[in-house]
Amino acid sequence: MSNSENVTPETYVVSAGRPAPEHDAPVNPPIVLSSTFRGSVPVDPVNDKVYARFNNPTWEGFEEIVAGLEGASEPGLSFASGMAAIASVLDLVPVGSTILMPKHAYMASVTIAEDLRRRGIAELVRLDIEDTDSVIEAMRAAATDAGMSAENVDYSAPKVLLWLESPTNPMLEVADLPTVLAEARKLGVVSAVDNTFASPLLQQPLKLGADVVVHSATKYLAGHSDVLLGVTATSNRALYEAMLHHRTTNGAIPGPFESWLALRGVRTLSLRVEKACENARFLAEKFQQHPAIREVRYPGLATDPGHERAAAQMSDFGSVLCVVLDADVEQTERVIDQLQVWTPATSLGGVESLVERRRRHGKEPASIPPSLVRLSVGIESADDLYEDFVRALAGLDK
């Protein structure tokens, strides 16, 4: 099955990316452990395998599924990590370019953009993505300075790149993606959306107007905290070829075994995401009532600033929420240490529930409250997760 439009996403993640339906064919694709492939005719660097840095059949099933879920017309491209996938987009900008990026975003993405700024390659402009008017104003200013329009875009070397997360990491701010992305297209601004927090089951930015989508496949797609992998999806041929060139020349390729694990993991994506979202909604609503919790950030709450936007452009609200404890740093860390069901760790999107005080990372901006705790909700019993957290919060009174 190669057409995701014929079936629901729940069926597609199970049915796609499998060998041709021939007699005695394996149900699952085999792992191909070869560093080189036979050939004697002139090389097609886009379509031929040639060498393991070019391609490997083991990648193809996973790439097919992600591209299909995102609605991409070009094949997906998998990478050695989420950061390798992110770099394949950010590194395209030429000298004198401008990168527009949310004020709250994944800190490693910001680090790449800051490195490009420090080296004199690109100007970095930080955005409040909840303020749509200011985002559009920043895009217009950058496009005008670069002499950009919809008619003169070089997608392989974008002079103005809009980098978005929605919801953002970790503040869970929600951008008005249809409005912002439509304006970017008019201005000749190339747009990229890190869709890791939503997964392609809940949000498809390409359909909302984005030029390229990026995922840390380590998170929801693979889903079991045992794979380091990234993936991109686009319907723009020039962007596809530029990212493929970046992957090939930089050697940012996934291992066959990691790709096989990711394909196995994505088969249960719909079940895992559905359960995790259900748990997150339950916890967000319960935590709102707890006196030791000063604030709950979750787009699924009707009181959340991003709720209406998220409801309009997402099919569910994700399974990451943040709580700001009525506590100092030492007390917050003590609460985390007392948890037994939750696992203190840096990641998200796995079957297990993870918890982390985000400001423990020195590069997180000061605008993130010191007692803000990011919760990646897994598929355990929601009651067990809640009771475990309540028991840990009880320690604040001691």
Residues involved in catalysis: 53, 106, 194, 219
What is the Cα–Cα distance from 156 to 242, expressed in whole angstroms? 5
Alpha-carbon span 306 to 284, nearest angstrom: 14
Phi, psi of 388 (to 5 degrees): -65, -45
**Half-sphere exposure at residue 183, Cβ-oriented, CA atoms within 13 angstroms:** 17
Nearest of 133, 207, 199, 127 to residue 161 by alpha carbon: 127
Q: Where are the beta strands (DSSP E) in 105-206?
A: 122-127, 160-165, 190-194
The burial of 398, by beta-carbon neighbours within 10 Å (0-12 exposed, 13-18 middle, 19 or more buried), is given as exposed
b vs e for 134-145, b when ≥16 Cβ sit within 10 Å of the residue's Cβ? ebbebbeebbee
Among the listed residues 339, 367, 365, the one whose alpha carbon sits nearest the alpha carbon of residue 356:
339
φ/ψ of 89, rounded to 5, equals -95, -50
